[in-house]
Structure 1
Amino acid sequence: MDSIIVTPEAITYLAELLAKQNVEGMGVRVSVSQGGTPQAQTCFAYCRPGEEQEADIKLPFDGFIMHLDQPSLPYLKEASVDYDSDELGGGQLTIKAPNAKRFHIDENSSVSDKVTYFLVNEVNPSLAAHGGMVQLIEMIEDDTVAILQFGGGCQGCGMVDVTLKDGVEKTLLERIPELKGVKDMTDHSVTENAFYK
């Protein structure tokens, strides 16, 4: 498994920590919440017997098992877990996941994942020049129509209809064949931050 590196110091620390829990078979579970977004968080938690997921990748170490959340694997690629001890006998466990905020899609990705990917990587960098952004709220009509919400300089902007049709919708329809349309659910009566009023 090349998705995560665990140093010997981290293995020793985790084995000792888990042994103190007095729970037979206690392990750890690693996942990434909101992977592929700027809000991505790498989660490291105790995993009691029965709390693991069937699809988890199990990494056996001396004294415990590390469970990797299957949907999080692309975001855990090249991740590392380390333990740095200090002079006072303490230390800190650290996990670094350089790909946690990088959105990954492939041919098996859901339509909503594809929409989010192109919003994050192609649409929002363009909108950022005007202080704006757009996010996916939900998919409707059997995942063929994306409901979007604009924010920042796009909310209440006089050009948002042009941005939606000629920019956002055009980009998404070109990139995602399964997508049939997009709809805007933003309340554009709020104009304090609008780029064009």
Structure 2
Amino acid sequence: MQTVKKFRLQQLNGLQSHVARYGPLKQSESSRPSLPNPFLPLLNPHTAKWRPPKYSLRRQAELVKMAKISNTLHLLPPGPKFAALDHAVPPIADELASTSEAPSKAAEDGAWSAPVEWQGEFKSKVVSGAEIGSRLYSGKKRMFKGHRWERVLEKRKRKRVVLMRDMAKRVASYKAYYHRRKPNPLKPARSAKAPKLPF
């Protein structure tokens, strides 16, 4: 929970610097405060260029894992590592606030666990094969393309069988060809050209 709490406090404390750099956020219809979604890329209105997400996919996955352990998934913004369906987890912030066992702790939790409106829309991609747990190899002929020598191995084996089957004939033809071309020192030269004069 400390990891999620640190994440939320960083987002709340960095709101003023974000507004000073990128301009004010869009006003939400509800009374909840608005925060930029650090899991999504952001369009800079001054340069018209996209800024990458503040948190990498690896850090997002770590935050989601910590939030699942501490049952605080509702405090994280939607992102690539956090499906929108996971937000259906019942929040526990209201339960903590309603308890009278530790009023100081409840007041402290209300500062960082209060509901906020995350700016930016996350569009989840529909990947074929995700429902059966095979996103990587869905729609592919081979499970793994392999190295090039593995892909051409069967063709090379067939070619090798053909070459070895006719190897004796090929060796005899090779030797006969060079035997015919081998000059005989006892025979006259094959060339019938007239000898060149020394001058």
Same fold (TM over 0.5): no
TM-score, normalised on structure 1? 0.24
Judging by fraction of residues, say which structure has more strand: 1
TM-score, normalised on structure 2? 0.23
